[in-house]
Amino acid sequence: MILFTNTNGLRIFGKAGLVDGYGSSWWPCKNCPRPAVLGFNACNGLSVNYLSIRNSPRAHITINGCEGATFSHINIRSPADSPNTDGINISSSKNILIKDSNIASGDDCIAIIGESSYINATGIACGPGHGISIGSLGRNNGRDIVEHVRVYNCSFTKTTNGARIKTFSGGSGYAKRITFEKITLNQFYNPIIIDQHYNHMNAGGGVQVSEVTFRGFRGTSTNDRAINLGCGSPGCFNIVLDKIKIVSSQPRKPASCSCRNAHGRATSTVPNCNISLR
């Protein structure tokens, strides 16, 4: 709806403003080419502060081909059942900081996809939504690269996922040097998940996943499988689980960990995970 392209040094300050996308008129048509509310394409040195957006037809904010951008005190709100309404969607960008923001949507609070690096999300309150996701990567047998991502001091409340990496079978590229740290969880479904079969195929995951750290997670899960590391046949390597305590939100029901083709180490982790030290 609003697009800034090839603009350097742009400053947006919206403390008294609200942008409403009136998405409810679009959501019933899931196959329609629904627009984002606010897009930034090839914008460098960008600063967006104190902006409120609600009810986007699709993603609320898209960041594509940008370098050096800061988003702070962003308030995004759409219903949990609004389709594909990512809060912030980042692609082909680097040196992006998102901080001190509240994101409630019907899809990922933040999605980081191909050719993106040095992405930092800190102080994010996410929920409802699908959590903070790397991917999906490798769609349509494509090549995607995501690296140097840090998600720090964030909270997830009643989301369907927490910290997630998702790749399509048959794609190529890699996701590496990714850290999720100091995460607070409150009644959501998949706290920690690596899903290398996002398209539900049985072929080996072609996107390499390595050097991923999950540290300092605390809270409750509505799913008895609190940690799910579902890697393809090539395996995921240098996966670290550290200082994690996730329990079931249902009294007397234990939480569990599932590891498939995941290699690394788990220390001070509840539920216990038997990661291969390969």
What are the tens digits of pLDDT across the range 8-23?
Answer: 999 999 987 899 999 9
Q: What integer pLDDT is reported at residue 278 of this predicted model?
A: 57
pLDDT digits (tens, 9 = 90+) for 15-45: 878 999 999 999 999 788 999 999 999 999 9
Residue 50 has pLDDT above 80, yes or no: yes
Phi, psi of 141 (to 5 degrees): 60, 25
Domain ranges of the chain: 1-87, 108-278
* Residue 2: other Cβ atoms inside 10 A: 12
216: Cα within 13 Å, side-chain hemisphere: 10
Class of domain 108-278: mainly beta
Cα 227 → chain centroid: 16
Catalytically annotated residue among 130, 144, 195, 197: 130
Number of residues that this document lists for the chain: 278
**Low-confidence winner among 8-17, 66-75, 113-122, 174-183 (lowest mean pLDDT):** 8-17
- Tens of pLDDT along 183-228? 999 877 889 999 987 765 555 548 999 999 999 999 998 888 899 9
Q: What pLDDT sits at residue 141?
A: 86
The single residue of 60, 86, 107, 195 carrying the catalytic annotation is 107
Residue 100 a catalytic site member: no
Which of the four pLDDT bands, split at 50, 70 and 90, describes residue 171?
A: confident
* Residue 135 pLDDT greater than 80, yes or no: yes
Q: Under a CB-based contact definition with an 8 Å cutoff, are residues 98 and 120 in contact? A: yes
- For the cut 70, the answer to whether the pLDDT of residue 57 exceeds it is yes
**Distance, CA of 82 to chain centre:** 17
Surface-to-core class of residue 150, CB atoms within 10 Å of its CB (0-12 exposed, 13-18 middle, 19+ buried): middle
pLDDT > 70 fraction of the chain, expressed in percent and rounded: 96
* pLDDT for residue 2: 96
Side chain identity, residue 184:
T
Among 4, 1, 3, smallest CA distance to 23 is for 1
The per-residue pLDDT for 275 is: 85
Nearest by Cα to 180 from 207, 158, 157, 162 = 162
pTM score, whole prediction:
0.95
Closest by alpha carbon to 212, among 104, 137, 157, 101? 137
- 242 catalytic per annotation: no
What kind and span of H or E run contains 244?
A: strand 236-248
Tell me the β-bridge partners of 228: 193, 258
Nearest of 158, 212, 220, 205 to residue 180 by alpha carbon? 212
From 51, 98, 60, select the one nearest 82 (Cα to Cα): 60
The rounded distance, in Å, linking the Cα atoms of 94 and 34 is: 26
pLDDT confidence tier of residue 6, bands split at 50, 70 and 90: very high
Asked if the model's pLDDT at residue 96 lies above 70, the reply is yes
Confirm if 217 and 186 have CB atoms less than 8 A apart. Answer: no
